[in-house]
């Protein structure tokens, strides 16, 4: 899938681009995960090897901006946020695009107000078959500018494949996230060749689907498979996380695991391992292939790369970490979780949240709101800052963060001079 996309220059950074290009040229096979060192003298940034826009996001941005360019006289709507980044979404709104729904499903504009000549852009996360059906019945164009990520579609295909073979689909994801909702919707039709056939038959839950958010929930499910919990306890614990008429006694005999592509890839692997072990204990290792489907090929390479690069970044050590991205971005929140286990970590949407060396406003994952930290930047000695970003974050936002922080530290080198000495690779080696 090596191709370039037409991304608006407003999201690009010459500074960051040169660093990425230098790393790519020196390490085309991406074997070196060590961070890039940007040495400003009294301040050093350690920049993750992989960060920012992924294939699916760049593809979505190109399609959405092409829709605006090609249809100046049409009304254009986004089903919901195309990607979870306010800079990108705000710019699309400024260009006349309107949102039909919020990311949590609140209807902003009734579908009934849409006209056949309107264009609706499907976001990178995809959408449910039920919503697609509603929009098709209104005869609006949802196909010309569908930005659904190819790797999300790969998960859908794999879920349908194992569903058609009689496996229950276990989804590692956040039940209310748009991508998981879309996967849930599409996985449940796996025993039919098409959604239309399912609807006509009156059976809308042909493939059982069950969502687990994390390893703790997967372990609880594994213990049920081992016989440690009764069905009522399981169903009560996971209320609204499974398809209608889900029967734990019959629907957990054959299972396969797929994931929301923005979840921690290592956790998906752990969840698969825990559930596979439970099935092996129940049915025997010699019968495991009949009871557990191999779905390891559904992990998103970009999410995995960013997470592995974040781990290498963390291992190199620093005074603190800054993670840039939308506060509702799932993949970004997992980078924050990784960093915050080891050091003070500040999750910000843009450099505007940095108020000098004394104050920084950052998103707190636990409370789900912005909080303010005082004296976040200690200038009494050289400062090392880890810097990374989610897959929906434009490079320009990291550029702005670097320049904002550099301006706070006396005696720092000019960014242009840092780039000039960034010949070959200055990594943590």
pLDDT tens per residue across span 149-188:
999 999 999 999 999 999 999 999 999 999 999 999 999 8
Res. 201 pLDDT band, cuts 50 70 90 = very low
What average pLDDT does range 337-344 have in this prediction? 96
Res. 204 pLDDT band, cuts 50 70 90 = very low
pLDDT greater than 80 at residue 425: no
| Domain-wise residue ranges, the chain | 9-54+302-420, 55-137, 150-299
Note whether 9-54+302-420 and 55-137 share their fold: no
pLDDT greater than 80 at residue 298: no
Res. 295 pLDDT band, cuts 50 70 90 = confident
Specify the pLDDT at position 291.
97
What is the b/e burial string over 312-351, where b = at least 16 CB atoms within 10 angstroms of the residue's CB? bbbebebbbbbbbbbbbbbbbbbbbebbbeeeebbbbbbb
- Measure the CA angle with vertex 356, ends 351 and 361; round to 5°: 55
Catalytic choice (178, 179, 305, 400): 179
The neighbour count for residue 26, using CB atoms within 10 Å, is: 11
Specify the pLDDT at position 427.
47
Alpha-carbon distance 142 to 136, whole Å? 8
Alpha-carbon distance 239 to 303, whole Å? 29
The neighbour count for residue 181, using CB atoms within 10 Å, is: 23
Q: Is 412 helix (H, G, I), strand (E, B) or coil?
A: coil
Share of the chain above pLDDT 90, in %: 84
Fold assignment, 150-299: Cobalt-precorrin-4 Transmethylase; domain 1 (3.40.1010)
- Residue 84 dihedral angles phi and psi, to the nearest 5°: -90, 70
Instruction: State whether CATH 3.60.15.10 applies to domain 9-54+302-420.
Output: no
374 is catalytic: no
Fold assignment, 55-137: Rossmann fold (3.40.50)
Mean confidence (pLDDT) of the chain:
91
Residue with tokens 């098409």: 194
């Amino acid at each position: 899938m090596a191709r370039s996309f037409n991304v608006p220059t407003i999201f690009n950074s010459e500074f960051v681009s040169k660093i990425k290009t230098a790393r790519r040229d020196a390490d085309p096979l991406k074997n070196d995960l060590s961070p890039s060192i940007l040495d400003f003298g009294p301040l050093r940034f350690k920049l993750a090897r992989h960060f920012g826009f992924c294939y699916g996001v760049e593809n979505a941005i190109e399609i959405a901006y092409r829709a605006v360019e090609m249809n100046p006289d049409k009304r254009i709507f986004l089903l919901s946020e195309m990607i979870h980044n306010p800079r990108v979404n705000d710019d699309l709104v400024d260009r006349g695009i309107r949102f039909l729904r919020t990311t949590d499903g609140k209807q902003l504009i009734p579908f009934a107000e849409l006209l056949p000549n309107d264009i609706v852009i499907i976001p990178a996360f995809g959408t449910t078959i039920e919503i697609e059906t509603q929009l098709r019945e209104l005869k609006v164009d949802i196909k010309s500018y569908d930005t659904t990520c190819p790797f999300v579609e790969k998960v859908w295909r794999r879920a349908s494949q194992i569903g058609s073979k009689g496996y229950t689909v276990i989804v590692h994801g956040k039940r209310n996230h748009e991508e998981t909702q879309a996967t849930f919707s599409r996985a449940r039709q796996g025993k039919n060749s098409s959604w239309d056939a399912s609807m006509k038959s009156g059976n809308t839950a042909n493939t059982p689907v069950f969502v687990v958010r994390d390893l703790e929930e997967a372990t609880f499910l594994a213990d049920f498979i081992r016989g440690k919990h009764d069905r009522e306890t399981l169903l009560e614990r996971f209320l609204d996380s499974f398809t209608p008429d889900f029967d734990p006694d019959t629907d957990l005999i054959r299972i396969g695991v797929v994931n929301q592509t923005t979840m921690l890839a290592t956790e998906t692997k752990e969840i698969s391992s825990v559930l596979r072990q439970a099935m092996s204990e129940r049915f025997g290792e010699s019968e495991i292939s009949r009871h557990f489907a191999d779905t390891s090929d559904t992990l998103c390479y970009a999410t995995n790369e960013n997470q592995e690069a974040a781990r290498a970044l963390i291992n190199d050590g620093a005074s603190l970490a800054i993670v840039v991205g939308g506060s509702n971005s799932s993949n970004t929140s997992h980078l924050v979780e990784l960093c915050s286990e080891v050091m003070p970590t500040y999750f910000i949407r843009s450099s505007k949240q940095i108020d000098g060396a004394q104050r920084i406003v950052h998103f707190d994952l636990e409370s789900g709101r912005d909080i303010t930290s005082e004296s976040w930047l200690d200038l009494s000695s050289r400062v090392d800052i880890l810097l990374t970003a989610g897959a929906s974050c434009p490079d320009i936002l990291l550029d702005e963060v670097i320049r904002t922080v550099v301006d706070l530290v006396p005696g720092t080198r000019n960014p242009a001079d840092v780039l000039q000495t960034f010949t070959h690779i200055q990594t943590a080696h």
